[in-house]
Structure 1
Amino acid sequence: MRIAIVCIAIFIFSLIFPSIGQADPQVSGRNAVLIEQSTGRVLFEKQAHDKESIASITKIMTAIIAIESGKMQEKAKASRKAIYTEGSSIYLEQGEKMTIKDLVYGLMLRSGNDAAVAISEHIGGSEEGFVYLMNQKAKWLGMDNTHFDNPHGLDSENHYSTAYDMAILMSYAMKNETFQDITGSQTYLSENRTYSWKNKNKLLTQFYEYCTGGKTGYTKKTGRTLVSSAQKDGVNLIAVTLDAPDDWRDHISMFEWGFDNYNMETIAEEEPISYRFSQDTEAKSGYIQHEITYPLRDEEVSQVTNQLYILENAKQREEQIIGKNVFYLNGKQIAETNILQEDHGQDINHQSIIESFLSALQEVTGVSATW
């Protein structure tokens, strides 16, 4: 009887005082992070900045460098070193020539270590030369706690990253349409094979309908590692787990929690604004350059504030940018956009309308038009 009364009391209390949002997701991984793709906002983290071995999720970096090299249609020749690289393989034969494009598919879908070495030797001139490119790219992306020692992710004391850094890498890579196509492919048939490669990412192929891509990894020392992306109702999320025995469930749990708790809210629109330098001066006009959306919980929407920063000599400036509109959440800056002189804003809007019309005219008539 006492238990029943307690249960009823808890139920009534939950109706009167409903909890805001849900409890953080429970993950098996030693390290984990969930971010929103376009802004990089961290929605959930668990020891996300600890340096750890990462295994084959390394290949995300190998793939994006290969794609950006502009050599996807070139053929790489498989060396003896490539074919004898231990671990997962697409079974290249020594001397076999395969396009970089096919090798990247083999790299991402089947996690071919031989493909990783073949790519690195062709694009970097040597595996060491390619690793240099990987570390330069990591530095450029702000992956401050990352160091690569090889293009495939086999264990090495000098090969490590963090859950957060790998999320930043995946966020960058997913801006590339070719990478999106490759990581989002369930199967692929190489010109050199009579059978298709099936993607090892079971979130994509079996378990989660909103998954858009990712990369698996495993070594005995490192455990299971996983990077994945998902999209639902206009929200794009990236999840990373390191040393996670139940990683498929971890990622689904993080994604569902993220989708349930956050929406992409518009906090700024492209529109005219008025501003004053003081209450005694007349109102002046400007134009917000870009629309800004940001992932927010329902209760956070009203907590977003903004501050206009206008240059005092704005009216005399010839440049179109006269200031910034900066947005804050609980005192922390989360986004900003330029303020343009009003005539510049109108000119840009007018120009974009004309350009859209001319583009549509060209599609219909096949004749290029200028103005």
Structure 2
Amino acid sequence: MKVLHVCESVTGGIATYLNELIPHQISLYGIENVRLIVAREQAKEIILPSRVIVTFEQLSRSSLVAQYRMSQTYFKQVKDFQPSVVHVHSTFAGLWFRLPLLWKKKKPYKVVYCSHGWAFDMQKPMWIKHIFAFAEKALLHCTDNVVCISEHDKKLAASFGISTKKLKVVKNTVELADKKITPVDLDPNLINYLYVGRFDEQKGFDILSDAVHASENRNFRVYCIGGAVVSSTDTAQCFEDPRLIALGWKPKNEVLRYMKGCEALIVPSRWEGFGLVALEALVCGCPVFHSGAGGLPEILPNSEYSTQLAAPMVESIQKLFDRTSKRMLVERKRQLSKVFKLTYTVKNLAEELNEIYKN
């Protein structure tokens, strides 16, 4: 089995997914039989042996020339590497890799596609959603299997008329956190919350910022790991409030240290295929407050450790800041560390994908 992973942008959850999946695939197939294509500027986010990684020159969704060059890298690697399976990740990579295949009568490899959250799950006008769905249905003709990262993902695809025959649910998961990773040292007199992800519309960073600014409580901090990727909105003014602290993107172990050190993670997403960061937090013993968007309720059944906030989200998060005691959150965190068990591992994920690749 020779597997070529094809990506456009990996920043955030896709990088986590690949960093945890590919080592298991290397153990299954051998390091010489696994390869990953990423943007050169994002290669530093991939913690894998350099011989596995191939880069394309420039990541730019606004430039057709850049997108064309990216696709040329894809097909050069197909020619050089001669994979038995091409596993394509996310919407733009899915478009630019599969579009030329619509005119190709036969291909010597299998195409497996994962959107990591459908484009038509975005909060857009219905006519735009139907355009995205039409494109996905057309591209399905040159796709052998589509990996859905949650049952929500599969049901949503079916609701837009995408045939379920090729849809396979393979849920995301994470590795257990290394017990040697120690909590980051934070002010014990404050309630320390955490946000991890892109500062973009999908992830609801503006909702979080508005809630912080609306709160009159001064005894909390929200540590924000990440940065803007898709959005061009300037978020610098958000951090003029000292309760919001920008940390930039951090290596995985640093993210886990903040998850272990903070009292709770806030996930205010507007749409979400799965929500890998929430699962990472639970593994670290960090309770989660979330929006309930997309696949989040599926992996986070409502409990004292994973609380779905009511709409409107700005008001709910503001109430969280104004009415929640540190003592209560610390006790939740202590209990969660004792009771949480991860039953579905990355090894299981790799084995499920292997069955899809083979069949």
Report if TM-score (shorter chain) is over 0.5.
no
Structure ID, larger Rg: 1
What TM-score do you get using the length of structure 1 for normalisation?
A: 0.24
